[in-house]
Amino acid sequence: MAGTTGEAITLTWRAESARLVGALTRMTRDLDLAEDLAQDALVSALESWPVRGIPDNPGAWLMTAARRRAVDGFRRAESLRRKTAELDRDVRSVREEDDVPDLSSQVDFIEDDVLRLVFLSCHPLLTPESRAALTLRLVAGLSTAEIARGFLAGETAVGQRISRAKRTLAEAHADFELPTGEERTARLDDVMAVVYLIFNEGYTATAGTDWMRTDLTDEAIRLARMLADLVPDEPEVHGLQALLELQASRTAARVDAAGRAVLLDDQDRSLWDALLIRRGLAALERAERLAARGRPVGRYSLQAAIASRHARAATAEETDWRAIARLYDVLAEAAPGPVVEVNRAVAHGRAYDADAGLAVLDRIPDRAFTGSHLLASVRGDLLARAGRHSDAAASFREAASLTSNESERSLLLGRAEDSERWAAREG
């Protein structure tokens, strides 16, 4: 297959698979069948596009192919039902076309199908782990192996988790419609969590050669904006939107021309997206205005407030790290967790000194990050800032051995080599 055609299919699938599955689930009311139909459309593209060329509207082509498969399936099912009924001599003679549902009208693009899919994946019958795995599969389009790496779990176990989740939804006849009222409120936290999960997977890909997957960050922002429209009185929804917009504003500066990762301090801030920053700050202002009416400030709003401190700094040196450290202290109280503590260590290390950051880091149990590179990576940075270059090099190499992302591994190995050079100079 020609490279450009293969790339076109890959990019189209990444961009359209969630919409396909969402639309087909709405059409068939069957999650498994929807996934099968979407996969059939992908196979058709793999067979057709290398021969006939890439269609003008690849997403619409996939949708049409999937719809035809669905219609054919319904017709076969309907034909079987009719023949069975005729054998029982218990039906009237009807024209086949009159009895086939008008499916075409049901598969027109509807903007919120992916959001419906997220709400369905966050059904209260599912465990939090199943919700996250199912969403990453259906909405982010990750393979079972990629999800397993993200959860530090076995591929078989994750595959079984996804299968059980779909079976649970099917047996419960889970409704694909957007929930309302108390049911929507009950699922909102989980929906926001999986939208953030999708964004994070795109912002720093778990595996692969690319540092980022902008298709996922773009989709997460789109979903966050839709959520903000859906529940405009909920401050945390605006906090989530603000956080994603502000973080995504750095996208163009996070990799160099060769695709290598660029750390925050080294980024060319003229490349930061001013429109996304304005949108993020506006969303944060909405969140803070609603919170001022008595609604509690949540983790997304706090993280957005931290991101806003970076966005407002014209240079890395102008960053108000003490304000950021104070915000992380509040976040650690509001939403405690090992990842927050790691980021708090970074903030304290920059606001005061490296030893202050290491003191925060040392209180985190190693087991909290078993198999993850995050703790070793941050420890390496703080050790380097403390002038302990040999120890820093060892931590960076440990972190590099634990990441599955090639770009991140290259960055960490480069920092290890820098630390080793500093250590050699100092004898």
pLDDT at 101: 44
Cα 105 vs. chain centroid, distance in angstroms?
30
* pLDDT, tens digit (0-9, with 9 covering 90-100), for 197-225: 889 888 887 666 677 888 889 989 999 99
Count of other CB atoms within 10 angstroms of residue 285: 13
Cα 220 vs. chain centroid, distance in angstroms?
6
Question: How many angstroms separate the Cα of 57 from the Cα of each of 197, 284, 377?
Answer: 29, 36, 43
Q: Tell me which residues of the chain have a pLDDT lower than 50.
A: 2, 90-91, 93-110
Distance CA 182, CA 425 (A): 64
| C-alpha neighbours within 13 Å on the C-beta side of residue 29 | 8
| Among 41, 9, 8, 10, CA closest to 24 | 41
Asked if 389 and 422 count as a contact pair (C-beta separation under 8 A), the reply is yes
* pLDDT, tens digit (0-9, with 9 covering 90-100), for 176-193: 777 888 888 888 988 998
> Quick one: three-class SS letters along 306-341?
HHHHHHHCCCHHHCCHHHHHHHHHHHHHHCCCHHHH
Q: Coil, strand or helix: which one is 221? A: helix
> Is the model's pTM score more than 0.85?
no
Count of other CB atoms within 10 angstroms of residue 363: 9
Asked if 18 and 138 count as a contact pair (C-beta separation under 8 A), the reply is yes
Residues facing residue 208 across a β-bridge:
405
Written as one letter, the residue type at 73 is G
Distance CA 121, CA 138 (A): 8
Written as one letter, the residue type at 147 is I
pLDDT at 390: 96
pLDDT at 329: 96
pLDDT at 3: 60
Cβ contacts of 403 within 8 Å, gap of 6 or more: 373, 409, 412
| Among 347, 381, 392, 342, CA closest to 362 | 342
Distance CA 37, CA 116 (A): 18
pLDDT at 20: 85
**Ordered DSSP codes for 193-209:** HHHHHHHHHHHS-SEES
pLDDT at 36: 87
Q: What share of the chain is helix, strand, coil (3-state, %, to 5)?
A: 75, 0, 25
pLDDT at 412: 94
